Homo-oligomer: A and B are copies of this chain.
Amino acid sequence: MSRTPHHPTREQIELPMVLDCLSDPIRLAIVYQLAQQERVSSELRCSDFSALSGKSNLAYHFAKLRDCGLMRTRVAGTNRFMRLRREDLEARFPGLLDAVLGSAAKDADRLPLVSGCELVEVDRK
């Protein structure tokens, strides 16, 4: 297992890959919830999304989200903490992320969202 997962540099972030990544309902939901969480702690564990799908499937989606530059993974013990690469995305494609998030918010009822309550804990180590 590589110590730190691969992340593209800011300049390597490609528009088609970002849009393709966001076009999957599960990944869009992940990004959406990550954005919601930003107001509180900016980071979430993989297991926080376990309601969306199985572990291995989530790992697959997380890898895609990393590969396209949408989020960054920080390894801490057995946990992986993920957060949006907001600044990189804003620098690369100004206004895009917020437009997508706003659109997702309008259609939040069509997204496979996690229940909600348990997403607000901030106990970090």
Contact = CB atoms under 8 A, between A and B. Distances in A.
Interface of A: 14-17, 19-20, 22-25, 28, 92-96, 98-100, 102-104, 106-107, 110
A95 B99 contact: yes
Contacts of A28: 15-16, 19
Contact of A99 (B23, B25, B96, B106): B96
Contacts of A24: 16
A2 to B, nearest CB: 27
B102 A95 contact: yes
A98 B99 CA distance: 9
* 9 closest residue pairs by CB, A with B: A20-B23, A99-B99, A93-B103, A19-B23, A95-B99, A96-B99, A19-B22, A19-B19, A96-B103
A93 B106 contact: yes
Contact of A14 (B16, B19, B20, B110): B110
